[in-house]
Structure formats: C-alpha cells, structure tokens
C-alpha cells in the first residue's frame, strides 16, 4: 500500500512516477530531515549524482520539495507537507549544528509572516538558527 501512496503523491503534483523518482521520494521520507545532494548520493548507491539532482530539480519545480541553505553553504532539500504549493506553513525554523553539521527541523516554530514593502512578492523564506545541538553540547562538557 505504501507504494500506491508514493505514486499518488507524485501524480498529485503532476510528476510521472518512475523508479528513480519513487526511490528519491522514499529515501527522503525515510531520512526524515532536510537532505543534501551529497547525502542522497551516499545512501542511494544505485543512482548517480546528476540523476538525483535532476529528480530534485523536478520535485522543486512541482513544489514537492523546497530548498534551504543550511547555514554552512550546502543546499538541502525538504519535502513540502501541503497538497499544493509550498506555503509559509512549510517554511519553519531550521537549526544548523556548527559542530556535527546536521540540520534539524523545528516544525513547531513557525516563521512569522513578513510584511514586505509594496510591489515585493515573497516566494519563500529561510530562517536558520546556528549553534550547537544537544548531542554535541554534551560531548563538549
């Protein structure tokens, strides 16, 4: 049944389900946090980097994923939770650990809506907090 759900997710966004696209979607869902192209390449040994990148680009253009700069210069991708376009509800706070270089999602901490001057239109927002995660903090004690 899970396979049917994954196919439905892609089809709802106007994406033709292929083996590679389903593999990327399932891998991202299983990882459960924003992932970089390099991270996906490491765990997805059957796909090369350019194929993964093409799938991520397609997913982003169909609003299945959104990209965030992780605070360390790496672009990471996260699955949008809504049924349509990524919304402000998808744009939650992220935390970048400067020690272990992991990115954490704080979905309960939403980014406040920003009132822009007339004529400006927001398409996305990135709110990144940098510091040390609890695991790295304990090791440093």
Tell me: the pLDDT tens digits for 109-126? 877 778 899 999 877 777
pLDDT value, residue 1: 46
Q: Write down the pTM of the prediction.
A: 0.77
15 φ, ψ (degrees, to nearest 5):
-110, 125
Question: Is 136 annotated as ligand-binding?
Answer: yes
Question: Is 80 annotated as ligand-binding?
Answer: no
> What's the mean pLDDT when you consider all of the chain?
86
Question: Is 105 annotated as ligand-binding?
Answer: no
| Contact in structure between 94 and 50 (CB atoms under 8 Å) | no
Contacts by 35-42 with C-beta closer than 8 Å and gap 24+? 35/76, 35/77, 35/78, 36/70, 36/74, 36/75, 36/76, 36/77, 37/75, 37/77, 38/74
Question: Is 100 annotated as ligand-binding?
Answer: yes
pLDDT value, residue 15: 94
Q: Say which CATH number the domain at 134 has.
A: 1.10.10.10
pLDDT-derived band of residue 83, with 50, 70 and 90 as boundaries?
low
pLDDT value, residue 34: 87
Residue 91, pLDDT above cutoff 80: no
Number of domains within the chain? 1
Domain of residue 77 covers: 2-140
pLDDT value, residue 80: 82
Residue 86, pLDDT above cutoff 80: no
Q: Is 16 exposed, middle or buried (0-12, 13-18, 19+ CB in 10 A)?
A: exposed
């Amino acid at each position: 049944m899970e396979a049917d759900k994954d196919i439905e997710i892609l089809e709802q966004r106007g994406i033709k389900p292929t083996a590679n696209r389903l593999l990327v979607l399932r891998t991202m869902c299983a990882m459960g946090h924003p992932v970089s192209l390099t991270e996906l390449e490491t765990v997805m040994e059957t796909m090369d980097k350019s194929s993964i990148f093409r799938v991520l680009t397609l997913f982003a253009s169909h609003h299945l994923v959104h990209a965030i700069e992780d605070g360390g210069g790496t672009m990471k991708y996260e699955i949008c939770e809504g049924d349509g376009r990524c919304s402000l509800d998808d744009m939650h706070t992220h935390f970048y650990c400067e020690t272990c270089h992991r990115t954490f999602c704080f979905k309960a901490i939403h980014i406040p809506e920003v009132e822009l001057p007339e004529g400006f239109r927001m398409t996305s927002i990135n709110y990144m907090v940098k510091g040390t995660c609890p695991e790295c903090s304990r090791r440093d004690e």
